[in-house]
Amino acid sequence: MVWITGAAGGLGQGLVEAFAARGWRIAAAFHRQTTQRETAQIWPVPMDVTKPDQVRAGLAQILQRWGRVDVLVNNAGVVADRLSWRITAADWDRVLAVNLKGAFLCAQAALGPMLEQRDGHVINVASFAARSGPSGQASYAAAKAGLLGLTQSLAKEVGARNVRVNAVLPGVLPTPMTAALTAGPLREFAAANALGRLNSIAEVSGFIAVLAELRHVSGQFFQLDSRIARWC
């Protein structure tokens, strides 16, 4: 079964659909209101990924219902875009807490049963911002860069137990997180891609669902748009 955080968001809903289409049982974790309905295959789980007690409680419910966790997709994320001298300490803490600390807490929890069953896959949804450090996104870029470091450290720690850890950089998608972008910035993002266009939720979700089933890939970063930049 797959545990997806941030399942109420645009990409989160796409992930639920993509995994469901491949026959997975899904724990769709959400913090704010969700329209996802419970079925035999899909189980909405309320959870704040920044709260260790809620993460542990959510995992306990998942294990009680299904007995194991095969895949964790750390998809929960927020932004608070401001120039670095204008961002508040509270916003900085919130962005780091959801994007990085939350991913760590969920991975830490999921790795317990994964290591015991000697099988599992953690997939972290990162961002091109981790590579490029955009102006006005210092908190988000820092959090996502930390997520890439976490991905490789965990991959090294758990590989001997047949647990894989990878990260995906989806690109700019039509989600609530990007809804405030006007036509001008969207054109600029598209123009920065070699293909001259942005990615889609369906393609990213489908890729992650396929990646989840790969058995011999770990510690890798998969950029899913066509922006080209050097890895630092």
Q: What is the largest CA-CA distance in the chain?
A: 50
> 218, 165 in Cβ contact below 8 A?
yes
Query: What's the gap between Cα 77 and its chain centre?
Result: 7
Q: How many CB atoms lie within 10 A of CB 208?
A: 26
Torsion angle of C-alpha atoms 48, 49, 54, 55, degrees rounded to 10: 150
Candidate list 24, 128, 140, 189, residue with the active-site label: 140
Q: Is 140 a catalytic residue?
A: yes
The DSSP element (H or E) to which 122 belongs, if any, is strand 120-125
Instruction: List Cβ<8 Å contacts ≥24 apart for 89-95.
Output: 91/139, 92/139, 95/139, 95/140, 95/143
Catalytic residues: 140
